[in-house]
Amino acid sequence: MNIPSILWWSPLLGAVLAFLVNWAWFGPKTFYPAWMRALGRDPSDPSTGQVSAAQAFGGTVIALLVQAYGLAIVIALREASGTDVGPLRGLVIGALIGVLFVAPASLGHRLFSGQGFKVWAIECGGDIAGLASIGLVIGLWH
């Protein structure tokens, strides 16, 4: 099986957009305060706990790049089968991957760690929105 070529910069742009979407998702006027309270922490204390801010942001950027290039491969394989993707289908593919794979995989982690459904819903909502935005950007150039 041949994997079609991927425009290297479209997943990069998708990762940047996903970072911005998650920045807004976890902003002080959106879900950050509720998320921190659900974790049992004070929303006015921005410390990340066991990791430094550089580790948290660096790890996030690396994870978004991995997701973006993985989603680019999925979209390219779909197009190789003869289906044009485009931005709307890219968005839907990204969201579906979030709903069908990312969210279920993390549910057990949140429940066994005692963090509960609210933490899971807030975090997975951001993940799904980020993957959908990556799919939208990749779909624009495929």
27 or 1: which carries more pLDDT confidence?
Answer: 27
pLDDT bin (cut points 50, 70, 90) of residue 139 is very high
Sequence-separated contacts (24+) of 36-40 with Cβ below 8 Å: 38/115, 38/116, 38/118, 38/119, 38/122, 39/115, 39/119
pLDDT at residue 111, as a whole number: 92
pLDDT at residue 33, as a whole number: 96
Q: Please report where in the chains the tokens 């931005």 appear, as a residue.
A: 87
Res. 3: pLDDT tops 60: no
pLDDT bin (cut points 50, 70, 90) of residue 100 is very high
pLDDT at residue 93, as a whole number: 96
Query: What is the distance between the terminal CA atoms of the chain, rounded to a whole angstrom?
Result: 19
